[in-house]
Structure 1
Amino acid sequence: MNTAIEKQVTRKIFLRLLPLLICLYIISYLDRVNVGFAALTMNADIGLSAAVYGWGAGLFFVGYCLFEVPSNLLMAKVGARRWIARILFTWGLIATCMALVQGPKSFLIMRFLLGVAEAGFFPAVILYLTFWFPVRYRARIISIFMLSIPISLAIGAPVSTALLQLDGLMGLKGWQWLFIIEGIPGVLLFGVVLKYLPDSPKQAAWLSDEERQWLVNELDKDAKAHPAALDGQSTIWKVFCNPSILALCFIYFTATAANVGLSMFLPQMIKQQGFTGMEIGYITAIPYIVGCIGMVSIGFLSDRFNKRTAFVILALLLIAGGLGAAGWLSGSNLAIIAMCVATVGIMGCKGPFWPLPALYLSGSSAAAGIALINSVGNLGGFFGPGIIGVTKEMTGSYESGLYLLAGLAILGIFTTLIFISDRGKAQKGLPVSDAVPTRG
């Protein structure tokens, strides 16, 4: 193996693609969760109850789910550069227009439309990264890309809280300024994506012929070494009915329910402990700063030991233990430590999880399968805040909701143990003839 050219190519790709993709996902994720900070004042202004807010916050993921698979299939036809740019412009526009909501009905409609607009972005990026990085790099690369989430929340927490202080400026509420200022970057970066994001290595003028050939050879070797159970000629129906793909959907559902349920209500949980103003923003950032460390560490260890399922199980254990302890310690400052543990699991799950679909899918089936996993899994984003909102109204506290999400993570552990294997295709006992190696 030519280690010199390997280091040269991977470094080049990393520096050319990852900073822009990370920037885009930071903006994307902040635009979907900044409603958690807006809720500190918005709910009272437009008359949202805890239950309506919870289901509305999660309604984003219903629109996201319905349009995820067709969006990702269109990306495969249109090309990553143009399709990601389109998604970026649309979600930026709708995120900005969230400032126009006036009551429960308009709030629910706009959250649904925001999900429709953003559908396809994340699975498009995950699939896109498989065009550029060999298998042995993917967990760490995905972990680094997924740093966008805790970074967006760590930065967004104090920034969003500060924007609420603009209340009354030019006759607008603070939460309206929050949506406007944090939504505009999505619109402005539309042209940057069109100019700087190549569709594939063939369009990358910054790769030499030798570098491009090395990359193609490595990706071909991976395809032959890890033949997928479902290839590019498989029907969409086969992808959707595959037991392991459905299991991956549920596992991601459990992690997403915990992630979104916690992030949408964390500022309000901290406020309930007696903190106010900028204190809420700074304390909210703490679990996500810790989550950054956990995410990178688990991703690198997963690559180092070439163990995906073991580290997914570890992450789910941290989620269950952290959320359960946060519920038990509710009202105490120690609950923040428990939330940090849960966030390490929530963030750390993503690195070892997302290389798993490539063990079962290749070619065009990968576009459909990854989109299916992400869309169905993201329905957890509807369930998580919804269940916390409902239990908060029923019991007057957040404990029951946290316990339910912890229990869901435990179900995810059993699902992983039963249905998922690092060997991929062999888990399902499909004949080798069903696997036609293609570069995914």
Structure 2
Amino acid sequence: MTAGLNERALIRKIALRTLPLILLSYFVALVDRSNISFAAATMNADLGFSETIYGIGASAFFVGYSLLEVPSNLLLARFGARVWLARIMLTWGVISILTAFVHSPMQFYAMRFALGVAEAGFYPGVILYLSSWFPGEHRAWAISRFYIALPLSFVVMGSLAAPLLAMDGHWGLQGWQWLLIMEGLPSLVLALVLVLALPDRPETARWLSDAERAWLKGALAREAAVMGEVSHNLLRALTNPYVLLLGMANACNFIAINAIMFSAPRLLAHDTGLDVAGVGRIVSVGGVAIALGLLLVGSVAGQTVGRTLMAYVGLVVLAAVGLMLLWLGGTSESSIAGFLVFIAAAQVAGMLPLAMVSRLIPAADRAGGLAMANTISQGGAFFGPILWGVLADRTGSYHMGVALLIPAMAGSASFALLVRQRNLAKA
């Protein structure tokens, strides 16, 4: 530690300069990605979409997202976070708005696929960006702070859904069209803000003193030295066992997350009898629960990889308990409790795998490795809504889908335990 330099104060200073813009951008991305869950309440009826058609459309996002993850993250490493993240925001904002004007299943699939292509690389790109600002022991804390965008998106979507859907008929547009348009506009503004205000890297940040810049460079260099000095090798990054195992752990988690999230408003309305406003309040409470979980886990789990792994396992087990409540409960209260327990535990767990990847692979491999781990994760995100939609159409109920998600959480915990075993053997 450089004499006279306060490490905690420096980390807070970096956080204040970088995290608010990243948080706001991720918040807008999550809203634009998931707001069709509320739009579907009337969109499916207006357009004649079955649960299967809706599930395929929801999943089409993750096809485009997965295909472009790795190249997008490599381009971010080349052009810098400021320019590339702004490009992502601009294109996904335009596509999100255009989705309001689809009329057929194929148009819906195409817009969802295009939205995935536009957003590809955003999340692993942010982890890569934060890896150049926050040393390993502070990284999970930083990620948990920008990940607050996730529960914030729940609160906002839950609060705005009813009034935006109530705009039905204004200027000849349906309520679900207003919801998609109004929630897509902020990303266009934020694209410009990112270009003007987001600092690219510590070397160009004028608000860092020479001593602060030197300490940060030294801390990151020491972390890289522990991993061993290696040159960039894309194939090695894409096939790293930690990348593959942690990607599979999160893929199993995301099968369940996306199956539930893209149908949550209809699932909760079916189980509780509540209207859109009532369901929105439950989703908003879910956001608060996620936020509390993030603050707790981000503070206690990130100091070591081993502790982070065990936190992950505990969270996915708790998420499985929530699914069991949702499946077996049979009352409004048990359905609400099951949803809240599941969504808080599973979403907080979803933050951790890429944070661990960033600490378990060499810095030279992070651009490709982080993108690959997230690509595998999004494979699970793709299958969840489709499986859910097909089962709902064939059985006339959501509950068979809930039951089949419980083994996915067991698989997630198993992959994480394999990572722990490998990490202990390596140590």
- The TM-score normalised by the length of structure 2 is 0.95
Find the counterpart in structure 1 of residue 252 from structure 2.
Answer: 254
In 2, are the aligned partners of 1:318 and 1:344 still within 8 Å (CA)?
A: no
Q: Tell me the amino acid that sits aligned with residue 418 of structure 1.
A: L
Report Cα offsets for 1:155-175 as digits up to 9, x if no partner: 111212220000000110001
What residue ranges of structure 1 are gaps of 5+ in the alignment? 428-440
The answer on 1:57 being equivalent to 2:55 is no
1:18 match: secondary structure: helix
Find the counterpart in structure 2 of residue 434 from structure 1.
Answer: none
Equivalent residue runs for 1:36-75 within 5 Å: 36-75=37-76
Find the counterpart in structure 1 of residue 329 from structure 2.
Answer: 329
Query: How far off is 1:304 after superposition?
Result: 5.1
Find the counterpart in structure 2 of residue 288 from structure 1.
Answer: 287
Query: How far off is 1:305 after superposition?
Result: 6.4
Query: How far off is 1:113 after superposition?
Result: 0.5
Find the counterpart in structure 2 of residue 29 from structure 1.
Answer: 30
2:405 match: secondary structure: helix
Find the counterpart in structure 2 of residue 398 from structure 1.
Answer: 398
In 2, are the aligned partners of 1:140 and 1:351 still within 8 Å (CA)?
A: no
Q: Tell me the amino acid that sits aligned with residue 410 of structure 1.
A: A
Equivalent residue runs for 1:88-127 within 5 Å: 88-127=89-128
In 1, are the aligned partners of 2:88 and 2:122 still within 8 Å (CA)?
A: yes
Find the counterpart in structure 2 of residue 241 from structure 1.
Answer: 239
Q: Tell me the amino acid that sits aligned with residue 300 of structure 1.
A: S
1:138–1:350 Cα change, 3 Å: farther
1:275–1:170 Cα change, 3 Å: same
Q: Tell me the amino acid that sits aligned with residue 77 of structure 1.
A: R
In 2, are the aligned partners of 1:295 and 1:348 still within 8 Å (CA)?
A: yes
Find the counterpart in structure 2 of residue 269 from structure 1.
Answer: 267
Find the counterpart in structure 2 of residue 85 from structure 1.
Answer: 86
Q: Could you tell me how far apart the structure 2 residues matched to 1:422 and 1:137 are? A: 23
The answer on 1:189 being equivalent to 2:190 is yes
Report Cα offsets for 1:131-161 as digits up to 9, x if no partner: 0011111111111111111110121112122
Count of paired positions: 424
Find the counterpart in structure 2 of residue 174 from structure 1.
Answer: 175
1:425–1:145 Cα change, 3 Å: farther
2:302 match: secondary structure: helix
Q: Tell me the amino acid that sits aligned with residue 162 of structure 2.
A: T
- The TM-score normalised by the length of structure 1 is 0.92
Query: How far off is 1:226 after superposition?
Result: 4.2
Q: Tell me the amino acid that sits aligned with residue 24 of structure 1.
A: S
Find the counterpart in structure 2 of residue 343 from structure 1.
Answer: 343
Q: Tell me the amino acid that sits aligned with residue 114 of structure 2.
A: L
4+ runs of 1 displaced by more than 4 Å?
none
Q: Could you tell me how far apart the structure 1 residues matched to 2:289 and 2:232 are? A: 43
In 2, are the aligned partners of 1:68 and 1:372 still within 8 Å (CA)?
A: yes
Q: Tell me the amino acid that sits aligned with residue 250 of structure 1.
A: M
Q: Could you tell me how far apart the structure 2 residues matched to 1:422 and 1:174 are? A: 51
Q: Could you tell me how far apart the structure 2 residues matched to 1:258 and 1:8 are? A: 39
In 1, are the aligned partners of 2:236 and 2:365 still within 8 Å (CA)?
A: no
Q: Tell me the amino acid that sits aligned with residue 257 of structure 1.
A: I
Q: Could you tell me how far apart the structure 2 residues matched to 1:220 and 1:162 are? A: 51
Find the counterpart in structure 2 of residue 430 from structure 1.
Answer: none
Equivalent residue runs for 1:193-232 within 5 Å: 193-227=194-228, 231-232=230-231
1:351–1:300 Cα change, 3 Å: farther
Query: How far off is 1:332 after superposition?
Result: 2.8
In 2, are the aligned partners of 1:227 and 1:425 still within 8 Å (CA)?
A: no
Q: Percent identity?
A: 36
Find the counterpart in structure 2 of residue 433 from structure 1.
Answer: none
Query: How far off is 1:350 after superposition?
Result: 3.5
Q: Tell me the amino acid that sits aligned with residue 303 of structure 1.
A: G
Q: Could you tell me how far apart the structure 2 residues matched to 1:227 and 1:330 are? A: 54
Query: How far off is 1:44 after superposition?
Result: 0.5
Q: Could you tell me how far apart the structure 1 residues matched to 2:17 and 2:399 are? A: 44
1:145–1:227 Cα change, 3 Å: farther
What residue ranges of structure 2 are gaps of 5+ in the alignment? none
Report Cα offsets for 1:359-404 as digits up to 9, x if no partner: 3322342101100111121122211111111111121111111122
Q: Could you tell me how far apart the structure 2 residues matched to 1:186 and 1:221 are? A: 37
Moved more, 381-390 or 173-182: 381-390
Equivalent residue runs for 1:364-383 within 5 Å: 364-383=364-383
Find the counterpart in structure 2 of residue 436 from structure 1.
Answer: none
Q: Tell me the amino acid that sits aligned with residue 202 of structure 1.
A: E
